[in-house]
């Protein structure tokens, strides 16, 4: 039998989806599984997007332009200008979700063996995208004790080598919910400028910033206009993850013209997704504020509940709809599997994303889980009760070494 590629053997399993077979078996046993593992909101998709699909009147669904429909790119450009990002539609390539935007960006900017610095914990698929494109991930570790703040810039600088080509950030952050301050981003800008690096800024959660936190786009940073690639998506903003429409945005013309060749190789982004995405960009303020308020209410509820469970610590996320929580268990992945294989409370259980999968060094995050607070309050209530009961019954409980008070060094 022929051998598979080394690249394929190195591809990691998704910590977000790897436990799906166990969840399916639990459901077969008659249990309700509350899926806190994945960023799939139960909030209705924008009516504008749904109406565009329902009212579609075409006889041929054709390929479309490799860069994406011009009307959609112009609509994206108008949206960016409305939030202070001055770009033209020609600065935008439409992609099959933010995932393809990141992959094409890596293929365009990095050679095999080039290094990309990433603050960890990071969105797990960054490692998958890097592996698929033969790039090398170099982590800089942030810590739950200080709310996963951006590590000191000196720690980034220590990791720079002759092979370093780029830095990637997610702001607001998935999986931690941390929002990078303008000062932190300015420090990154200065580092990028000093070493002439690319900066890939994943900003798909920009509308979800809480507690008066200000969001700053890297596209607004002066002096590195040709270094920055903005990664975007309509999935979260309009609760339309299945549309698979994203974008890569840059003022670097050479980068875009090169990326377009990869876009041509995959022919075109999804036709129906683009039509729905274009309509979604006209969503009402009432829809967007309703979505925001729902997530804010869910965040406030779940963080309070988590921190009231004995031995659990979870810093307050300031953005997106994720949090990283530390559990009093020997191993969070074993616990997550046990919850699906052996535990149920009133025919209910919870699916979590083990934290180690969001770190490059999987020895880190062994007691952490990522939780997506994407379910309605009633489901979150039931999920938290299951989690509380599960932690009480779990045979692999760990000693609580630190109190919650010792973890909190400032208001996070």
Kindly report the CA angle at 126 between 123 and 131, in degrees rounded to 5?
Answer: 145
pLDDT per residue, tens digit, the chain (412 aa), is: 898 888 888 888 777 788 999 999 999 999 999 999 999 999 999 999 999 999 999 999 999 999 999 999 999 999 999 999 999 999 999 999 999 999 999 999 999 999 999 999 999 999 999 999 999 999 999 999 999 999 999 999 999 999 999 999 999 999 999 999 999 999 999 999 999 999 999 999 999 999 999 999 999 999 999 999 999 999 999 999 999 999 999 999 999 999 999 999 999 999 999 999 999 999 999 999 999 999 999 999 999 999 999 999 999 999 999 999 999 999 999 999 999 999 999 999 999 999 999 999 889 999 999 999 999 999 999 999 999 999 999 998 875 444 444 444 333 3
Residues 239 and 307 in one domain: no
Return the structure tokens found at 87.
Answer: 């770009």
Asked if the structure places residue 53 within a domain, the reply is: no
**Is there a domain that residue 55 lies in?**
no
Q: What's the CATH code of the domain at 121?
A: 3.40.640.10
Domain that holds residue 64: 60-280
Residue 121 DSSP SS3: coil
Q: What is the model's pLDDT at position 410? A: 36
Kindly state whether residues 276 and 290 are assigned to the same domain: no
The dihedral sign for the CA sequence 90, 95, 98, 101? negative
Cβ burial, residue 137 (10 Å; 0-12/13-18/19+): middle
- Same domain, yes or no: 170 and 254: yes
Whether the model clears a pTM of 0.85, i.e. scores above it, the answer is: yes
CATH number for position 365: 3.90.1150.10
Same domain, yes or no: 370 and 262: no
* Inside any domain, residue 412: no
Domain for residue 49, yes or no? no
Residue 360 lies in a domain: yes
- Whether 88 maps to a domain, the answer reads yes
Do residues 245 and 114 both lie within one domain?
yes
Task: Specify whether 245 is located in the same domain as 335.
Answer: no
Instruction: Say if residue 180 is in the same domain as residue 291.
Output: no
120 part of a folded domain: yes
Regarding whether 339 and 359 lie in a shared domain, the answer is: yes
Task: Look at residue 23 and give its three-state secondary structure.
Answer: helix
pLDDT tens digits, one per residue of 163-201: 999 999 999 999 999 999 999 999 999 999 999 999 999
Rounded to whole angstroms, the Cα distance separating 350 from 386 reads 7
Domain boundary among 265, 280, 295: 280
What's the domain count of the chain? 2
pLDDT digits (tens, 9 = 90+) for 71-120: 999 999 999 999 999 999 999 999 999 999 999 999 999 999 999 999 99
Do 302 and 340 lie in one domain? The reply is yes
113 & 127 share domain: yes
In a domain? residue 1: no
CA nearest to 177, candidates 306, 14, 334, 282 = 306
70 token code pair: 């011009």
Residues 130 and 216 in one domain: yes
Name the β-bridge partners of 246: 95, 233
Domain boundary among 239, 259, 280: 280
Domain-terminating residue out of 264, 280, 296:
280
**Same domain assignment for residues 117 and 257:** yes
């Amino acid at each position: 039998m022929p051998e598979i590629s080394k690249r394929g053997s190195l591809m990691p399993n998704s910590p977000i989806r790897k436990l799906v077979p166990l969840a399916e078996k639990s459901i077969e046993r008659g249990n309700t599984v509350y899926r806190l593992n994945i960023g799939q909101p139960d909030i209705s998709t924008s009516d504008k997007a749904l109406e565009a699909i329902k009212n579609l009147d075409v006889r041929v669904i054709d390929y479309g332009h490799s860069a994406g429909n011009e009307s959609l790119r112009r609509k994206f450009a108008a949206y960016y200008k409305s939030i202070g990002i001055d770009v033209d539609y020609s600065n935008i390539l439409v992609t099959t979700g933010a995932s393809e935007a990141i992959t094409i960006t890596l293929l365009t900017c990095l050679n095999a063996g080039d290094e990309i610095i990433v603050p960890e914990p990071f969105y797990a698929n960054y490692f998958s995208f890097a592996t698929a494109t033969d790039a090398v991930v170099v982590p800089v570790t942030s810590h739950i004790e200080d709310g996963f703040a951006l590590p000191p810039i000196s720690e980034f600088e220590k990791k720079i080598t002759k092979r370093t080509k780029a830095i990637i950030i997610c702001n607001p952050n998935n999986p931690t919910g941390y929002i990078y301050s303008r000062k932190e981003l300015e420090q990154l800008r200065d580092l990028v400028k000093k070493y002439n690096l690319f900066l890939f800024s994943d900003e798909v959660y920009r509308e979800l910033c809480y507690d008066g936190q200000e969001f700053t786009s890297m596209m607004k940073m002066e002096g590195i206009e040709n270094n920055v690639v903005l990664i975007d998506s309509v999935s979260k903003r309009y609760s339309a993850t299945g549309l698979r429409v994203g974008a890569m945005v840059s003022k670097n013309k050479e980068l875009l013209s090169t990326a377009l060749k990869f876009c041509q190789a995959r022919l075109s982004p999804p036709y129906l997704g683009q039509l729905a995405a274009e309509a979604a960009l006209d969503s009402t303020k009432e829809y967007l504020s309703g979505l925001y308020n729902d997530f804010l209410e869910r965040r406030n509820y779940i963080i309070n509940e988590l921190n009231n469970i004995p031995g659990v610590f979870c810093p307050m996320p300031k953005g997106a709809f994720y949090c990283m929580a530390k559990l009093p268990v020997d191993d969070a992945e074993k616990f997550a599997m046990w919850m699906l294989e052996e535990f149920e409370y009133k025919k209910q259980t919870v699916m979590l994303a083990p934290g180690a999968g969001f770190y490059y060094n999987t020895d880190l995050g062994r007691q952490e889980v990522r939780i997506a607070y994407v379910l309605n309050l009633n489901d979150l209530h039931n999920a938290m009760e299951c989690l509380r009961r599960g932690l009480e019954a779990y045979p692999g409980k760990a000693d609580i070494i630190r109190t919650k008070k010792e973890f909190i060094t400032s208001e996070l």
